[in-house]
Amino acid sequence: MPLLEVDRLDVGYTIPGEGLLSRPRILPIVREASFDLDAGRTLGIVGESGCGKSTLGRAILRLNKPTGGKVIWQGEDMASLPAETLRRKRAELQIIFQDPLAALDPRMTVLASVTRPLVTFAPGLSRRDREVKAREALERVGLGPDFLGRYPHELSGGQAQRVGIARALVGGPKLVVCDEPVSALDVSVQAQVVNLLMDLQDQLGLALIFISHNLAVVRQMAHEVVVMCLGRVVEKAPRRAFFDRPLHPYSRALMDAVPEPDPKRERARRGTAITGEIPSVLNPPAGCVFATRCPLVQPRCHKERPELRGFAGGRQAACHFIEGAT
Ligand code: SF4
């Protein structure tokens, strides 16, 4: 049994109807997302800004309420759990945010920030026990006890993100959703934080959902990759197969858009930016979500939505025109 099963998950936001008397509508952000994740594994979720990847991550933690489908945690449907059980389970699923300084309350010391989840999820712990756990969590992320009394403005971006990771770890989670955790950091600090997350996964057997638009970081961290386009999963694949040969035209366009570090090769590169109009989520296309921008589009693509289909090597992709991939 996988640790986490996401089964045809829909997430949307309620918005007012168009007329004075019209009913509120659901703005669909994520549609029919499905995947599994085991302990000790990392699932990378990639896609452009606005593709729904962060909304999906938050819905798994029930920070956004799904509008359809299921999140099954250790065999139990999260939506069917009584409130008290759900509260206890929530301690096992934590999140690290993109902007580490904005994620910390400027009025709280590092000790207060790191112990806060314990106040919520382990109310029986004494103040002293909470402090012991905070010290342990800070030690795991490479920060000494001298950080306990500091405030966020006294931390660098990298130190603040380490405090964010310590806060996620303090309650002993099994799954951590990492929502663009290094995109606000300097490149040198990014590498340190990525290595830290990989070390913590090895030590603690954590499952990680790593949400990022940075394919280089996903290539380093992920065991499996999910690609999202306009709220839909369009490709799922083991990391090596995906980076050797992505199947979906959207995945290939994302890969082609990664800048070359060598300026000569970058200048010689063919123009591969994704062009064309992104459809409105209020009026999603009847057919393929990539049809208005796909270089391989055919008339069928505008009428008929491609389902995810299986290919060799455990890969899946949603495109009408992928044949015989090996
Ligand atoms: S289904 Fe058509 S539009 Fe969509 S990715 Fe495939 S070829 Fe492109």
- Give tens-digit pLDDT for 103-122: 999 999 999 999 999 998 88
Ligand 1 pocket residue status of 304, Cβ below 6 Å: no
**Per-residue pLDDT at 17:** 79
Q: Does residue 130 form part of some domain?
A: no
Ligand 1 pocket residue status of 228, Cβ below 6 Å: no
Instruction: Give the whole-angstrom CA distance, residue 301 versus residue 312.
Output: 23
Sign of CA dihedral 103, 259, 255, 216: negative
**Nearest atom (ligand 1) to Cα of 306:** 1
User: What is the crossing angle of helices 83-90 and 110-121, to 10°?
Assistant: 140
**Per-residue pLDDT at 262:** 66
Q: Does residue 259 form part of some domain?
A: yes
Instruction: Give the whole-angstrom CA distance, residue 225 versus residue 243.
Output: 9
**Nearest atom (ligand 1) to Cα of 248:** 5
pTM: 0.92
Q: Please state, for a pLDDT cut of 90, what percent of the chain lies above it.
A: 74
What is the 243 CA–ligand 1 centroid distance (Å)?
20
- Two tokens, residue 175: 């799954």
Cα-Cα-Cα-Cα dihedral of 283, 284, 287, 293, to 10°?
100
Q: Are 17 and 139 in contact (CB under 8 A)?
A: no
3-state secondary structure at position 35: strand
**Per-residue pLDDT at 270:** 54
pLDDT digits (tens, 9 = 90+) for 246-277: 999 999 999 988 776 666 666 666 555 677 78
Q: What angle do CA 63, 69, 72 make, to 5 degrees?
A: 70
Mean pLDDT value across residues 96-107: 92
- Two tokens, residue 106: 């400027």
pLDDT digits (tens, 9 = 90+) for 52-80: 999 999 999 999 889 999 999 999 999 99
**Nearest atom (ligand 1) to Cα of 322:** 6
pLDDT-derived band at 83, boundaries 50, 70, 90: confident
**Per-residue pLDDT at 18:** 76
**Per-residue pLDDT at 47:** 95
Residue numbers of the domain that contains 306: 248-326
* Atom 5 in ligand 1: residue holding the nearest Cα: 319
Mean pLDDT value across residues 175-182: 95
Helix or strand (DSSP H, E) at 67: none
**Per-residue pLDDT at 265:** 64
Mean pLDDT value across residues 25-31: 90
Q: Are 65 and 14 in contact (CB under 8 A)?
A: no
**Per-residue pLDDT at 301:** 97
Number of domains in the chain: 1
Mean pLDDT value across residues 215-244: 96
- Parallel, antiparallel, or unpaired for β 224-229 and 42-46? parallel
What is the 290 CA–ligand 1 centroid distance (Å)?
6
Q: Does residue 111 form part of some domain?
A: no
Q: Are 274 and 293 in contact (CB under 8 A)?
A: yes
Nearest to 162 by CA among 190, 124, 123, 122: 190
Please identify which residue in the block is written with the tokens 């342990």: 136
Instruction: Give the whole-angstrom CA distance, residue 217 versus residue 98.
Output: 14
Largest Cα span, the chain: 66
Please identify which residue in the block is written with the tokens 């949603």: 318
**Nearest atom (ligand 1) to Cα of 302:** 3
Q: Does residue 286 form part of some domain?
A: yes
Q: Partners of 71 in the beta sheet?
A: 6
Q: Does residue 200 form part of some domain?
A: no
Ligand 1 pocket residue status of 294, Cβ below 6 Å: yes
* Atom 1 in ligand 1: residue holding the nearest Cα: 319
Q: Are 9 and 69 in contact (CB under 8 A)?
A: yes
pLDDT digits (tens, 9 = 90+) for 37-53: 999 999 999 999 989 99
Spatial neighbors of 219 by CB under 8 A, at least 6 apart, are 239, 243
pLDDT above 80 for 148: yes
Q: Partners of 68 in the beta sheet?
A: 10
Q: Are 49 and 56 in contact (CB under 8 A)?
A: no
**Nearest atom (ligand 1) to Cα of 320:** 1
**Per-residue pLDDT at 257:** 81
What is the 229 CA–ligand 1 centroid distance (Å)?
12
User: What is the crossing angle of helices 157-169 and 110-121, to 10°?
Assistant: 20
* More confident position, 226 or 258: 226
Q: Does residue 117 form part of some domain?
A: no
- Which phi-psi region, left, alpha or beta, contains residue 36 (left: φ > 0; alpha: ψ -120 to 50)? beta
Ligand 1 pocket residue status of 288, Cβ below 6 Å: yes
What is the 297 CA–ligand 1 centroid distance (Å)?
5
pLDDT above 60 for 179: yes
- Two tokens, residue 213: 């638009």
- Two tokens, residue 190: 């990014």
**Per-residue pLDDT at 260:** 65
Q: Does residue 172 form part of some domain?
A: no
**Per-residue pLDDT at 191:** 93
Ligand 1 pocket residue status of 296, Cβ below 6 Å: yes
Ligand 1 pocket residue status of 306, Cβ below 6 Å: yes
Q: Does residue 308 form part of some domain?
A: yes
